[in-house]
């Protein structure tokens, strides 16, 4: 049989192959040890040098053409099989789930809803910002210039490339950049700027992992900008929030002087706890634990937000949502929050229809 004829036959049968097994059969018959193309290759050894020079390239070209056709046909068959599987594998979301698989609302979602409800009652809107941030919003505008030591404390995940404006890109290390975005937004909508009252719950990222740290976790930020705002407003707001959140009247706060680049003065807020059966329960004042960072917004931050710091003042606060959830609902390992274990969720989760409201209570477990 001529090389051309063999090639035509093989390509025809490859084109007609309808599944992976058929492709494999043709491959073995052509390129396997006893295959037709392999047999041709073997004839090269017995040829004269002249013959080999003319036949060699033709036989090698045949082998390459057959190899390429086999690969292309295999790809096409696999692609079609995947398409067919995707089309066939649909999930009917309207089917009732078996009891053992019934989902529930994750405590983090629940706590974020509780926070939104509590702060909405005090006139706060919910704001959001991107999780992929630039270093200006995440650091510089928050009074952490390039050489600021606080930058090093954040264990930041950086991207290899800068954005179109030449800014370094990163996964935001805290929700504080939303302060800047919210101020710039309000200035854009209304040249007078403030007042502004927002909370910003969301995911944040740091390269850190142990029993109390996960590389992704959740924070909530609060920001109030208005005229004549002072520390008293901050203390009242946090007290009102913590009483509503922990659903107890005996919440006692202790404000300690501290340092954050974006606030001046800065305070760390401790909440009093009592010991009940050896466990810390928020309320009373047998001991203190830190729950929030806060302070009066630094003048430089107000200016970075496009507002005049002589005209506008404000306070800000930030804290971990996961920790608030653990304190309120009694979980003790942060990592379990992100394991996706249905048994954990059915224990700690919340009924989907039990939406937190101030009148109905913010957060009754299933
Ligand atoms: N961004 C801080 C952090 O991630 C938390 C924080 C502290 C936020 C003080 C604030 C604040 O708004 O005023 O550790």
Q: Are the C-beta atoms of residues 288 and 315 closer than 8 Å to each other?
A: no
Are 146 and 287 contained in the same domain? yes
DSSP state of 338: G
Quick one: 170 and 27 in the same domain? no
| Any domain includes 366 | no
pLDDT band at 366 (very low <50, low <70, confident <90, very high): very low
Q: Look at residue 190 in the predicted model and tell me its pLDDT.
A: 83
Cα(217) to centroid(ligand 1), Å: 14
Q: How far is the CA of 264 from the centre of ligand 1 (A)?
A: 12
* pTM higher than 0.75: no
| Assigned domain for 183 exists | yes
User: What pLDDT does 364 receive?
Assistant: 55
> Do 150 and 181 sit in the same domain of this protein?
yes
One domain, residues 72 and 139: no
Residues 205-234 pLDDT 10s:
999 888 778 999 999 999 999 999 999 999
At residue 83, does pLDDT exceed 90?
yes
- pLDDT tens string 89-144: 988 888 887 776 677 899 999 999 999 999 999 999 999 999 999 999 999 999 99
The reported pLDDT for the residue numbered 100 is: 66
Residue of minimum CA distance from atom 8 in ligand 1 = 318
Examine the domain organization and report whether 194 and 280 are in the same domain: yes
The residue to mutate among 119, 174, 175, 181, having the most atoms of ligand 1 within 8 angstroms of its beta carbon, is 174
- If asked whether residues 79 and 117 sit together in one domain, one would say no
Shared domain check, 41 and 146: no
Q: Is the dihedral of CA 325, 326, 328, 331 positive or negative?
A: positive
pLDDT at 201: 96
Ligand 1 in reach of 245 Cβ (< 6 A): no
Top pLDDT among 51 and 210 is at 51
Q: Are residues 23 and 164 in the same domain?
A: no
Who's near 258: CB < 8 A, 6+ residues apart?
Answer: 266, 267, 268, 293, 295
Residue 46 lies in a domain: yes
Q: If you measure from the C-alpha of residue 316 to the centroid of ligand 1, how many angstroms do you get, rounded to a whole number?
A: 8
State how far the Cα of 316 lies from the Cα of 267, in Å rounded to an integer. 10
In a domain, 321, yes or no: yes
Using the predicted structure, report yes or no on whether residue 358 has a pLDDT greater than 80: no
């Amino acid at each position: 049989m001529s090389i051309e004829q063999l090639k035509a036959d093989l390509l025809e049968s490859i084109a007609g192959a309808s599944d992976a097994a058929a492709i494999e059969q043709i491959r073995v018959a052509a390129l396997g040890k006893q295959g037709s193309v392999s047999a041709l290759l073997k004839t090269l050894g017995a040829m004269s040098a002249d013959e080999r020079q003319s036949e060699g390239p033709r036989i090698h070209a045949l082998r390459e053409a057959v190899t390429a056709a086999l690969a292309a046909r295999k790809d096409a068959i696999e692609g079609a099989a995947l398409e067919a599987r995707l089309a066939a594998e649909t999930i009917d979301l309207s089917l009732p789930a078996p009891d053992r698989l019934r989902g529930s609302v994750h405590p983090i979602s629940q706590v974020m809803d509780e926070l939104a409800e509590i702060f909405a009652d005090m006139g706060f809107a919910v704001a959001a910002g991107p999780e992929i941030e630039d270093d200006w919003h995440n650091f510089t505008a928050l009074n952490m210039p390039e050489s600021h030591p606080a930058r090093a404390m954040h264990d930041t995940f950086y991207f290899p490339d800068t954005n179109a404006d030449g800014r370094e890109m990163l996964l935001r290390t805290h929700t504080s950049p939303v302060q800047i975005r919210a101020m710039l937004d309000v200035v854009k909508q209304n040249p007078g700027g403030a007042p502004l009252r927002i909370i910003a719950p969301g995911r944040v990222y740091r390269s850190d992992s142990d029993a109390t740290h996960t590389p992704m976790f959740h924070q909530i930020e609060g920001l109030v900008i208005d005229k004549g705002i002072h520390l008293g407003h901050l203390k009242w707001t946090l007290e009102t929030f913590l009483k509503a959140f922990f659903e107890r009247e005996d919440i006692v706060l202790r404000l300690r002087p501290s340092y954050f680049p974006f606030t001046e003065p800065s305070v760390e807020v401790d909440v009093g706890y009592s010991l009940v059966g050896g466990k810390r329960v928020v309320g009373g004042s047998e001991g203190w634990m830190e729950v929030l960072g806060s302070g009066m917004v630094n003048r430089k931050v107000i200016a970075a937000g496009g507002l005049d710091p002589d005209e506008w003042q404000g306070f800000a606060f930030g804290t971990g949502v996961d920790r608030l959830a653990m304190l309120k609902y009694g979980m003790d390992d942060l990592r379990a929050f992100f394991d996706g274990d249905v048994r954990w969720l059915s224990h700690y989760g919340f009924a989907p229809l039990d939406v937190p409201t101030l009148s109905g209570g913010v957060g009754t477990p299933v």
